[in-house]
Structure 1
Amino acid sequence: MMRFKLYKLNLAVFSAFIAGAAIPISTAAQNVGGGLLLLSFFLSISSWDEFKIACRQPFAIAGLALGAALVLGTLWTSASQNEAWNFVWKLRAYYLIPIFLFVFSIAKVRYALLISFAAGTFLSVILSCWAAWFNYPIFHAIHGDWFIFRTHTYHNYFAALLAVGLLSGVLTKKFTGLWRWIAITAFVLTSYDILFLVAGRTGQLVYLLMIGLVLLLWNWRLGLMLGAILVLIGAFLLPKYSDAIQRGLSNTQSDLAAYSQGNSYTSVGLRLEWHKQSKLLIQEKPFIGHGTGSYKGEYARIYGVKDGPLTSSNPHGDYLWLSVELGILGGSLLIALLLAAAWQGRNLDSAWKMTLYAMLSGMGISTLANSFFVDNITGLAFVLLTCALLNGQKKMELSS
């Protein structure tokens, strides 16, 4: 019996290790790791009363509420039932939050996920720097945009999560001795990679905002002063010395100029057009929306074109996407997910809380111009990492 229990624990740890390492590297392995975590849950659950506790936590309730709303939305959707239920299935990670909260209540399992995520992300940072320094593109890297395994948006976001975690640990003195210097070195290298080597405008901006939030949570007076310095650096020095940021600003300016002249066929222009049409769809049915899975068909209807560059199955803005399909409740449920996680994590130890809150703010801001909630890569990563962090050390544990 003891041997079987050890086997189940080892499976959960192995599954978490695979899932964490895969987040910045491989979608297939990430899904495999998530599936193995589910299997380890069913093998390890011994009392459903324990699971009920996980189901009653705010983050779990918010995820289940989102699932319930999507299922109800299939009743009045203008899409086919196949399309509607495919969208329900696409967001499956949120309905599994209670299971992941339960699994990561085991310390070895959550540390396996977090450590392997940090290792996989830092590997991508090291390879990105190596490719840039030797001017030798590897994997997905291209000259001037040195992302490795993921697109530059995902690369920068995951690297930002690593950096804010390291900074939180350094500021709260969780890292001591040699580990402190290793964490500082990794933080500097990761920041350099995000701000100078990988051309992801959203990721760069969100990263600076996340760093500012960590500083404020650490010490609001000193953090406010350091945040002001950070703003000055970001506004005046980075555009001057960072080729990646120079290129991003130049592309944004040219995209906006083109859009003002009627050309929407640019990265920024397409997003502005998708957002514009999505808002019109929301105005048609602001309270109940057009139903689950209806976005693509409704967008084609209102835009009047079924095929072409300006048609869309993804508005690159999840608040708009869910509001089109479920009305104002849809976008509100995404905000509720973030607020529920923040509320549930209010009693965490400082380092865990700072990292969690920075991640939640980064997720909430990034999804204004991307589909971070709906996309499987960032959606599953968000659920797994949030559930692990919410099971971190509490303040009362440290004082007892």
Structure 2
Amino acid sequence: MSADAAMSPISRVLRLRLSPATWVTIADVFAVLTALALPWSTSLVAIFVLCWLGSAALMLDYGIYLQSLKRPICFLPFALVALALLGTLWSDAPWGARLYAVSPTIKLLVLPGLFYHFERSARGMWVLSAFLVSCVLLVVMSSVVAFDPAVSLKPVEEAARGIFVKNYIDQSQEFALCAVALAYPIIGLLRAKKIRLALLLGAIAVGFVVNMTFVTVSRTAMVTMPIMLAVFALLHLKWRTSLMIFGMVTLLSGLAWTTSPQLRLKTESFFTDYRLYKTGNVPTSIGIRLEFWRKSLRFFMEAPFIGHGTGSTRGLFEQAATGITYSATSQVIGNPHNQTLNVAVQWGTIGVVLLYAMWLVHLLLFRGEGLVAWIGLLVVVQNIFTSLFNSHLFDFHEGWMYVLGVGVAGGMTLAAKQRRASTEPFGP
């Protein structure tokens, strides 16, 4: 079947008006706009994603696309969404809550389309670069807001922490990802003796770290960023270089600790929050997380195979709430702040297996050398480890960071593998 025959009648009509290359360019532009908007706006991201879906669909060869869905990197996201839909059938939650709980998974359906498109488009790096540029602009704006909170679009208490839009958790995830991702090109440029460009990228990476040190940072980023750096050292540095960098990082961390009240406050709050929770049932950030996890494990054990159904989490917490109104044990939530437990409570072991299988195949996709493979690997690693403390795959901002990063970098990686396969000599 030819590509034209596989297209819908509407696609064929629109294709007569514009060339295929033009439609690919239009789709690429909307992908770039999505990356630019992600650090700043949720509504713009939703609009640009829909525009990207529409323009990319016009040039879709549905026969090839359906064949691509057989790959685990594509059908596992579909399987997770399908399970969420099926889970509505055995849930006791109101139908509104069931459908609302399905919506965070829908973004995963965009992944196969991104793989398909950027396996064929040569502009994937434009999208990744656009996200970096947007985050650089945000770090500048965050620094401005730290000095003049009146500039911020957020309430005064958040503006004082350098937040212009969104929140400090989303901002920290962006800055941590960009700072660590830049390590690969910096090392490559230094090895190639391109010192000026290496210094420029190094200054940008330092800017992200300085903002997180002296303006605001989430505790999730504080815990996961060292893990991301360790992954980089393990994969891309010799052990002697790793030891030297580890020593430098330790020294700089000590310096940051002594000069940054914000960093000390965040670190000390781990122990303060835990003590208040254990001794007084106070609903601190650490305390309520531990309470959510403890109860979620109990919910999982009550229905370990298929879970309690989509959207059931809030109802379960309402039934389990005890104590006075403003205590840790009385808190009710629809998200246990852990991706694995979020899935396990609703869809049991089946859901957890699908979640980890998807993470695994996406990790394996980015085996090998190269900047694109490194970015894709880092996006998956960050999502896995930050999801220990939040449901980041289902959260809007971090979830789209995952979908856009893995989808674009994954498509580029698949294209590179095809090029290598086509140039390899035939065996004897």
The reply to whether TM is greater than 0.5 is yes
Deviates more, 1:137-146 or 1:114-123: 137-146
- Which residue of the other structure, out of 396, 407, 419, is the alignment partner of 1:376? 396
Partner SS state of residue 56, structure 1: coil
How many residues are paired up?
398
The C-alpha deviation readout for 1:154-179, integer Å capped at 9, x for no partner, is: 10111112112221112233994643
Gaps of 5+ in 2: 1-15, 424-428
Amino acid paired to 2:270: T
Structure 1 pair 205–323 and aligned structure 2 pair: CA distance change class (3 A): same
Deviates more, 1:143-152 or 1:251-260: 143-152
How far residue 96 of structure 1 moved from its aligned partner, in angstroms, is 2.5
How far residue 369 of structure 1 moved from its aligned partner, in angstroms, is 1.1
Partner of 2:45: 30
How far residue 354 of structure 1 moved from its aligned partner, in angstroms, is 2.3
The answer to whether the 8 Å contact 2:161/2:215 transfers is yes
Q: TM-score, normalised by structure 2?
A: 0.85
Quote the sequence identity (%): 21
Partner of 1:15: 30
Deviates more, 1:136-145 or 1:76-85: 136-145
The C-alpha deviation readout for 1:61-103, integer Å capped at 9, x for no partner, is: 2201211222222221122333223322331011232112112
RMSD: 2.7
The C-alpha deviation readout for 1:96-122, integer Å capped at 9, x for no partner, is: 321121122243442332121111111
Amino acid paired to 1:263: N
Q: Are 2:279 and 1:261 equivalent residues in the alignment?
A: yes
The answer to whether the 8 Å contact 1:20/1:114 transfers is yes
Deviates more, 1:302-311 or 1:152-161: 302-311
The answer to whether the 8 Å contact 1:212/1:230 transfers is no
The answer to whether the 8 Å contact 1:156/1:194 transfers is yes
The C-alpha deviation readout for 1:278-324, integer Å capped at 9, x for no partner, is: 11111111121101111111121223699876111111111111100
Q: Are 2:343 and 1:322 equivalent residues in the alignment?
A: yes
Structure 1 pair 307–295 and aligned structure 2 pair: CA distance change class (3 A): farther
- Which residue of the other structure, out of 358, 362, 365, is the alignment partner of 1:344? 365
Partner of 2:268: 250
Distance 2:121 2:184 in 1: 20
Structure 1 pair 233–144 and aligned structure 2 pair: CA distance change class (3 A): farther
Q: TM-score, normalised by structure 1?
A: 0.90
The answer to whether the 8 Å contact 1:37/1:103 transfers is no
Partner SS state of residue 391, structure 1: helix
How far residue 180 of structure 1 moved from its aligned partner, in angstroms, is 2.7
Partner SS state of residue 312, structure 1: coil
How far residue 255 of structure 1 moved from its aligned partner, in angstroms, is 0.8
Larger Rg: 2
How far residue 235 of structure 1 moved from its aligned partner, in angstroms, is 6.2
Q: Are 2:181 and 1:165 equivalent residues in the alignment?
A: yes
Gaps of 5+ in 1: none
Q: Which residues in structure 2 correspond to 1:50-69 (within 5 Å)?
A: 50-69=64-83
How far residue 39 of structure 1 moved from its aligned partner, in angstroms, is 0.5
- Which residue of the other structure, out of 370, 375, 391, is the alignment partner of 1:355? 375
Structure 1 pair 139–74 and aligned structure 2 pair: CA distance change class (3 A): same
Deviates more, 1:130-139 or 1:154-163: 130-139
The C-alpha deviation readout for 1:202-260, integer Å capped at 9, x for no partner, is: 11222222122112211241454146426634764432222221110222222111012
Q: Which residues in structure 2 correspond to 1:1-400 (within 5 Å)?
A: 1=16, 3-45=18-60, 47-132=61-146, 138-140=152-154, 142=158, 145-173=161-189, 176=194, 178-222=196-240, 224-226=242-244, 228-229=246-247, 232-233=250-251, 236-303=254-321, 310-347=331-368, 349-393=369-413, 394=416, 397=419
Runs of 4+ in 1 over 6 A off after TM superposition: 305-309
